[in-house]
Amino acid sequence: MGANPPIYLDNAATTPVRAEVFEAMRPFFGAKFGNPSSVHRFGREARAALDEARERLATCLGAHPDEVSFNSCGTEGDNTAVLCLWRAVHGNGRRAVVTTPIEHKAVLAAAHQVAAEGGEERLLAVDANGVVRDDSFDALVDDAVAVTSVMWINNETGVIQDIPALAERAKSRGALFHTDAVQAFGKVVIDARTQPFDLLAISGHKIGAPKGIGALFIRRGTPFEPLIRGGGQDRGRRAGTENVAYAVALATAAELAVAEREAHWTRMEALRDRLQARILEAIPDAVVHSAGARRAPHILNVSIPGTDSESMLMALDMRGIAASGGSACQSGSVTPSHVLSAMGVPASLASAAIRMSLGPMTTDEEIDRVIEVFPKLVAKSRSLSAA
Ligand code: PLP
């Protein structure tokens, strides 16, 4: 506490808007306020900015500009992908959606909706690290499957799936393939020219753009039923006057994320590894989730036996450290994370999970302070629960 500034270790939840991004979108809250559908000069100016943002984002994805559809967030992208693909292609014996039990709720809820509309929902098995099992993929992705959706990087554990390979295999069985790349953009190489996914969702607020903007890559020729209908904007894929300011923000943030990807990966990985090693040294029975698999560098999810995440998070917050739990708090009751449950983590361990997620701004000094404070809080929490 005291004079120490707070430490933000919740970058998987959201990130601050970058100064460059704020500056890039500022003119669109002033003189450049036009509606891109208007034919006069104000409209043409807005249209040009929107087109340019689309081109810049397309370049970041290895896509054609017409394959980029701006939307409001990752949740909208995931919902649109799963539901709109399924609605467009189900039939001819293909009525199933295949996904994983470790997806974000944005995908799981859309898959439930498919089932409510007469489709079938299938969940792939994952191993103890949260990696999709090959045998399960082979068994479930058959010729009754319309759409397969697998997230690239998991938001709770950071586990990375081999999306290019899974997309290839789904497509060889005639299923369309969507990936939730909300945590993956800016972390792994994403290139629609060489990787065969059909749809891919990203979200601005995870990469230094504001909340309320996202984008969906929709490969040319993919059948698609719009979710939002109206004035025919975005080639009829998503009606509604476009958010030009935020599209410019997303394109700017995306370019920065791609340019800085490797440098940020190396830095965050070193910090995360140091944090992990020191926690394990100080607390030998701590369990690091997904430690045996390829993991994104910004996420450390660790369970401390004999503690519970809610009180640990509060104690950390009191010491100025902002982290998050592996559990969802719904109407006052804490349910263990569906991700950790699917990996076979016992409920007692899952309810002791702490997720610390780093960002490009995280410093060595901040990690030093967490390393100093964390074991003390664990010892205190354990002595309280033993008393
Ligand atoms: N998918 C993943 C993996 C996420 O981490 C999130 C955000 O937490 C989402 C989807 C939803 O994104 P948004 O908050 O932009 O709706």
Mean pLDDT by 10 residues, the chain (387 residues): 83 97 98 97 98 98 98 98 93 92 98 96 98 98 97 98 98 97 98 98 98 98 92 93 98 98 98 98 98 98 95 96 75 76 96 96 97 96 82
Say if CB 285 and CB 314 are below 8 A apart. Answer: no
Structure tokens at 6: 């707070």
pLDDT of amino acid 156: 97
Closest alpha carbon to 203 in 163, 239, 138, 152? 152
How many Å from the N-terminal Cα to the C-terminal Cα in the chain?
26
pLDDT of amino acid 384: 83
| 64: DSSP letter | -
Q: Which residues line ligand 1 (CB under 6 A)?
A: 73-75, 78, 104, 106, 151, 155, 180, 182-183, 203, 205, 214
- What's phi and psi for 238, nearest 5 deg? -150, 105
Whether 73 is a known active-site residue: answer no
Residue with structure tokens 């586990």? Answer: 159
Distances (CA, A) of 345 to 99, 151, 174, 323, 328: 20, 20, 34, 20, 15
From 10, 75, 338, mutation site for ligand 1 pocket: most ligand atoms within 8 A of C-beta:
75
CA dist 131 and 234 (Å) reads 36
Distances (CA, A) of 168 to 17, 177, 240: 35, 9, 34
Say if CB 303 and CB 326 are below 8 A apart. Answer: yes
Distances (CA, A) of 46 to 27, 30, 38, 255: 11, 12, 9, 20
pLDDT of amino acid 1: 47
- What's phi and psi for 98, nearest 5 deg? -110, 130
pLDDT of amino acid 93: 85
pLDDT of amino acid 4: 82
Closest alpha carbon to 109 in 353, 338, 355? 338
CA dist 367 and 341 (Å) reads 29
Which residue has the least CA distance to atom 12 on ligand 1?
74
- What's phi and psi for 175, nearest 5 deg? -95, 145
Residue 353 host element (H or E): strand 353-357
Residue 51 host element (H or E): helix 41-61
Nearest-atom number in ligand 1 for the CA of 12 is 5
Closest alpha carbon to 68 in 247, 212, 209, 229? 247
Q: Hey, what amino acid is at 280? A: L
From 206, 216, 243, 357, mutation site for ligand 1 pocket: most ligand atoms within 8 A of C-beta:
206
Say if CB 55 and CB 49 are below 8 A apart. Answer: no
User: Ligand 1 centroid vs 73 CA: distance in angstroms?
Assistant: 8
Which residue has the least CA distance to atom 13 on ligand 1?
74
pLDDT of amino acid 15: 97
